[in-house]
Amino acid sequence: MKKSINSPSSISELMLRADSMAGLTLGQLANHHQIAMPKDLKRHKGWVGQLIELELGALAGSKPEQDFVHLGVELKTIPVSRTGKVLETTYVTVAPLTNIHGLTWQQSVVCHKLQQVLWIPVQGDRDIPLANRQIGSPILWRPSAEESQQLQQDWEEIMEFIAMGQVDKVTARHGEVLQLRPKAANSQVLTDSIGQDGQLTQTNPRGFYLKTQFTQKILSQLV
């Protein structure tokens, strides 16, 4: 997918672009950028996000920083049903499994990325052809003190498991709002992690995800 649009110079310019995109279908946006659409998202999971990034002029790509780092804004597309129900968890970032001694919540990539998020809801019902799925109204969100506390508490509890060499004991049920899940194409992909004896061992890469009830609350309180 090609890059062309300049990055917005202010949050107001970013929101103007996001507002003007609302109501369009993915097909209309793809046509505007002369981009071929995949038939479905099975082999193109990140395609919708990349299309939105292109339209808004996001810079970060897969780097561990905010998409609009000069504005302090992270971009997240979120699939929703016709009735506005969030359809899946939201990926935040890869979880560090080594060299984490002394790492604090305030220093973490999760904290950094979730300081300010531009949410773009997109219809995700599978019975709607990809080209016909509409883009919703944007929501610029900053976590409240309570939300920040919830995120920090979950992050610290999960990181404690990792530090103690017990990453394999963490399931998607851990955490009130933030969860840790395998993040790889398949279970054959391995990376270094801390073992129970403090030595390095091998495990599947993990990623931090926001639970759907948390993102649903964000969308509901600001719609």
Write the DSSP assignment of 85-153 as a string of letters.
-B-S-EEEEEPP-SS-TT--GGGSHHHHHTSSEEEEEEE--TTS-GGGPBB---EEE---HHHHHHHHH
| Tens-digit pLDDT profile for residues 107-155 | 999 999 999 999 999 999 999 999 999 999 999 999 999 999 999 999 9
| 3 state DSSP class of 175 | coil
Q: What is the pTM of this model?
A: 0.91
| 3 state DSSP class of 14 | helix
Q: How many CA atoms lie within 13 A of 26 on its CB side?
A: 26
CB atoms within 10 A of CB 136: 19
- Lookup result for tokens 């038939």: 39
| Tens-digit pLDDT profile for residues 49-69 | 999 999 999 975 666 678 999
What is the C-alpha separation between 20 and 15, in angstroms, rounded?
8
φ, ψ for residue 76, nearest 5 deg = -135, 120
